[in-house]
Amino acid sequence: MANEMKLFSVTNERPLALKIAENLGVPLCEVELQKFSDGEVKINVEESIRGTNCYVIQSMNSNVNERLMELLIMIDALKRASAHTITVIMPYYGYSRQDRKARSREPITAKLLANLIQRAGATRLISVDLHAAQIQGFFNIPIDHLSALPLLSARLIEEYGNEENLVIVAPDHSGVVRARRVADKLHAPIAILNRKPRPNEREITSIIGEVEGKLAIVVDDIIDTGYRATTSAEKLLEAGAREVVTCATHAVLAGDAAERLAASPISKIFVTDSIDVVGAKKIDKMEVITIGPALARAISGVQENRSLHPLF
């Protein structure tokens, strides 16, 4: 007989966690979260979890460092309360862009984060569209790496499936595989923006592929400051594209990114709720697609020891 399932969300901002709980038909367990005047976090689980399978939903949204400390403290609390297993559901893996040493004396912070999560006591991780797939190798516990691209592709087919002049665009060379997966679904060619390889670099030197007269759909994994999305759109329109649509899994939307995107020539933006898009960040041209049901299926599969292959 399987151990009982217990579902947790650490932060008070938890619309995605509520969707997952609704799809599973399992209530979120009560967690007391206190923050002291100096920023310290104290957590108390309000019910017995001895011998249960615990699932902790915590995306690295808003303040990444604060979310991380909440997660580590929560894992420690569950471990000390004799949880049988502790599965972390982290739709957006913070620090994922620091996955290698690009220059001397740089840290590999994505690996450090993996070490912290494992040392705290997590026994499994579920994440969505990691910035670099090799991050899975940073862990010595099971990793379920899900993709939101099928959901985004299905919505794009629904909206633009009848378009004849369509091109899927990778915003840089590292995004070609991601763009190819979407292009295969839409039976469309791809183009690549040749960009200087620096964080949020605005200069695009050339475009590989034909975009003139076409509806260009830029496929990315993260929209952070919005610079890459807006400069991509400007370059594509300058090259003759008649319209630019952008889609991405993770809407970080740091700083004034929402305002930048609202003022940009992008006609439509599709993102998921891997990170909560609330308040002023939810602009009129943005559509948020939920990954709640997919994550619920993943949790159910782990709980019942079923294959998660259809979700990859």
pLDDT by residue for the chain (312 residues), tens digit each? 468 999 999 887 688 999 999 999 999 998 999 989 998 999 999 899 999 999 999 988 768 899 999 999 999 999 999 999 999 999 999 999 898 888 889 999 999 999 999 999 999 999 999 998 899 999 999 999 999 999 999 999 999 988 889 999 999 988 999 999 999 999 999 999 998 765 545 578 899 999 999 999 999 999 999 999 999 999 999 999 999 999 999 999 988 999 999 999 999 999 999 998 888 788 999 999 999 999 999 999 999 988 887 666
Q: Are residues 158 and 282 in the same domain?
A: yes
| pLDDT of res. 14 | 82
Q: Are residues 25 and 81 in the same domain?
A: yes
Q: Which domain holds residue 193?
A: 149-289
Q: Are residues 155 and 181 in the same domain?
A: yes
Q: Are residues 198 and 72 in the same domain?
A: no
Q: Are residues 216 and 169 in the same domain?
A: yes
Q: Are residues 35 and 62 in the same domain?
A: yes
Q: Are residues 76 and 95 in the same domain?
A: yes
Annotate 6-64 with DSSP letters as a single string: EEEE-SS--HHHHHHHHHHT-PBPPEEEEE-TTS-EEEEESS--TT-EEEEE----SSH
Q: Are residues 13 and 143 in the same domain?
A: yes
| pLDDT of res. 3 | 87
Q: What is the pTM of this model?
A: 0.92
Q: Could you tell me the two tokens for 254?
A: 């740091």
Q: Are residues 135 and 243 in the same domain?
A: no
How many structural domains are present in the chain?
Answer: 2
Q: Are residues 278 and 296 in the same domain?
A: no
Q: Are residues 176 and 299 in the same domain?
A: no
Q: Are residues 195 and 245 in the same domain?
A: yes
Q: Which residues of 172-196 are buried (b: 16+ CB within 10 A; e: fewer)?
A: beebbebbebbbebbebebbbbebe
| pLDDT of res. 202 | 57
| pLDDT of res. 1 | 47
CATH number at residue 182: 3.40.50.2020
- Calculate the alpha carbon distances from 6 to 54, 55, 87, 175, 290 in Å: 5, 6, 10, 37, 22
